[in-house]
Copies of this chain bind each other. A is one copy, B any other.
Amino acid sequence: MKIGILTSGGDCPGLNAVIRGVVLKGTTNYNIEFVGIRDGWRGVVDGDFFPLTRHEVKGLSKVGGTILGTSRTNPYEGPRGGAENIAKTLYGHRIDGIIAIGGEGTLAAADRLSNDGINVLGVPKTIDNDLRATDYSFGFDTAVNIATDAMDRLRTTGDSHQRCMVAEVMGRHVGWIALHAGIAAGAHVICIPEVPMSIDEVCELVNKAHSRGRAPLVVVSEGFKLTGMEEAFSDKGLDAFNRPRLGGIGEVLAPEIERRTGIETRATVLGHIQRGGSPSAFDRVLATRLGLHAADAVVDGAWGQMVALRGTDIVRVPFAEALGELNTVPQYRFEEAAALFG
């Protein structure tokens, strides 16, 4: 059997650990031959493959990024795209199936290709933890650790200067990173996309922490929807999420908090450092196990499914289960954390 592996979408700590897990289990236990597919679906469409042996995946569990490269190409677009062309390309290279490691877009494409007769197996990848059907996805724990460490640092500056510190973290549609890093770092305000808040509510929490003698620490997901600022933003142009088009939400929030509360306030946008570098042990274990089980699933012919974490077990779920609705932060999880705000 000959199997291609691809990584698609934004990079994420643990991608290489998945690849290593698949290849070690597949070659040693099942005698599968693997090829790496370059730059996600782009490599499928272009037939851009290279041999992937035990040697290539040596020492990869700790290495961030992806040795396969990645892109946001849609496999149904372009002159060589579409299920029929792809089937020909794979047949031409005698590739029996594809393991696609990616997020919602990738898995949706994988689902469609699967329905169109291509053998595809999925491994869920989302640093935001926004996929249903898996309790956690690799990369998320690393991102939360990085954000927590950064906020621990911001806190000492806040305390020294009696400032309010605002940290903007990843999370365009879901607030898991902000929620977990906020709990871990002891934030006084956690602003997530699932729970729109007005600038008044934010400032009230800031003032509450300040009145207890604390330097307020605010964590905000990039996709947080701030309400009550429409007028103020009207001259700057608003984007689809009702946010000003210039700068991130953290950079909008900070001066407004300062203006309204009188507390000196500074914003830091963590940005790309949250998704790079060596994965945490949790993510290495999760990613490796997903890879090992993906090799099993290939041998079982479990095409059209993806491997996922449930409790402490790795299970298989149909693509459809993972798609459609995002894994948002439920209201009770936000309220649970809100008890910490005081």
Contact = CB atoms under 8 A, between A and B. Distances in A.
Interface of A: 7, 10-11, 13, 15, 20-21, 24-25, 28-29, 54, 58-59, 61-66, 69-71, 135-136, 141, 144-150, 152-157, 159-162, 165, 180-181, 183-186, 212, 214, 246-247, 266-273, 275-277, 280-282, 284-285, 288-289, 292, 310-312, 336, 339-340, 342
A323 to B, nearest CB: 20
Query: Nearest 5 A-B pairs (CB), nearest first?
Result: A153-B276, A153-B277, A65-B156, A64-B156, A11-B160
20 contacts: A11-B157, A20-B186, A25-B339, A59-B186, A136-B312, A147-B281, A149-B277, A153-B273, A153-B276, A154-B273, A157-B272, A181-B281, A183-B289, A184-B285, A246-B246, A267-B271, A268-B273, A270-B273, A292-B339, A292-B340
Nearest to A268: B271
B156 A336 contact: no
A285 B176 CA distance: 12
Given A24-B339, A165-B272, A69 B160 contact: yes
Contacts of A270: 273
A152 B142 CA distance: 14
B69 A154 contact: no
A226 to B, nearest CB: 20
A25 B340 CA distance: 7
A231 to B, nearest CB: 21
Contacts of A289: 183, 336
Contact of A280 (B28, B58, B280, B339): B280
B288 A183 contact: yes
Given A62-B185, A342-B28, A292 B336 contact: yes
A267 B247 CA distance: 12
Contacts of A336: 289, 292
Given A153-B273, A268-B273, A65 B160 contact: yes
Contacts of A186: 20, 59, 61-62
B273 A54 contact: no
Given A180-B281, A289-B336, A273 B342 contact: no
A284 B154 contact: no
A312 to B, nearest CB: 5
A71 B161 CA distance: 7
B185 A282 contact: no
Given A11-B161, A184-B284, 13 more contacts: A24-B340, A25-B339, A29-B339, A54-B212, A59-B186, A61-B183, A62-B152, A65-B156, A69-B162, A150-B273, A152-B277, A183-B285, A292-B339
Contacts of A159: 65
A239 B153 CA distance: 30
Contacts of A212: 54
Contact of A185 (B29, B58, B61, B150): B61
